[in-house]
Amino acid sequence: MNQLEQYFEQNQQRLMNKYQHYFDIYDRYFNSYRNKPITFVEIGVSHGGSLQMWKEYFGPEAIIWGIDIDPRCKSIEEDNIHILIGSQEDPEFLKTVFEKTGPIDILIDDGGHTQRQQRTSFECLFQYIKPNGIYLCEDMHTSYWNTYGGGHKRKGSFVEFTKNLIDQINAHHSEEASLQVNEFTRSANSIHFYDSVVVIEKKERPAPTSKMTGKHSFDTSPTKKNMVEKIEMHFLLKTNKVLQVLGMKGYAINRMISLCSKK
């Protein structure tokens, strides 16, 4: 049991509600930020118990911010805990968050949990996360709940949205116009999925490069294609381009790779 879970179990202060498996996830990604001058933001204040937990966990140098639509949450403010009142699905309000908090080291979305709220918050606030910072959205099981706008494989759910980010993080390798490098590709280092949680680690990332070191163990000089093989190669390339456009499975891929290895 880590210190976060210990605090939760012994909590006699403000009310909070957490799934038990979240604490290991938190500690895995947040431990290195402890006792440092960081800016931490949590969307969803409720009764303020988790903000007090974060204040204890991160130490006196951390500045803790909470965001909630309920104006009563303003009364929860205390030393090093600040509350902003507004809707997480209002882009105009979210633009003002950065003006108050400045660059953010860690952001947790534990707000209203609807698909629109989670997506709008990410689209507006991810840009304000510092390089080497973390964006964590929890309670993503609502992506499978109809009452929150979700459903298995439902278009527009936040889990389907974040699945597409897997493609985007690999966009440097795309051969198609439908997948191009964008700001997320350049600034996201990794995406981690857990039960009900996604963690996105931010880091400035140039296009990947590769190199070789060491010596060949055997002769790898490519042989030349004969005329039949050149015609076959041309046919396979054209065929697979068409299949790619149609979204269909590739044809004779191993043979095409073998032919590509020849001059």
The string of pLDDT tens digits covering residues 182-236 is 999 999 999 999 999 999 999 999 999 999 999 888 776 777 888 877 878 888 7
- Residue 99, both tokens: 């003006």
Is 173 known to be catalytic?
A: no
pLDDT at residue 250, as a whole number: 81
pLDDT at residue 24, as a whole number: 97
**Opening angle at CA 82, ends 51 and 69, nearest 5:** 80
pLDDT at residue 245, as a whole number: 75
pLDDT at residue 133, as a whole number: 98
Distances (CA, A) of 74 to 49, 51, 67, 110, 191: 14, 13, 9, 17, 33
Task: Determine contact, residues 128/100, Cβ cutoff 8 Å.
Answer: no
pLDDT in tens, 238-257: 888 877 777 788 888 888 77
Catalytic residue among 21, 82, 113, 172: 113
> What is the chain's mean pLDDT, rounded?
93
pLDDT at residue 229, as a whole number: 78
Q: Where does CATH 3.40.50.150 sit in the chain?
A: 3-202
Number of helices (H), then strands (E), belonging to the chain: the values are 9, 7
pLDDT at residue 105, as a whole number: 98
- Overall pTM > 0.75: yes
pLDDT at residue 179, as a whole number: 94
Domain 3-202's class? alpha beta
The CB density around residue 46, as the number of other CB atoms within 10 Å, is 19
Instruction: Quote the CA–CA distance of 103 and 108 in Å, as a whole number.
Output: 14
Q: Which residues of the chain have pLDDT under 50?
A: none
- Residue 58, both tokens: 């991160």
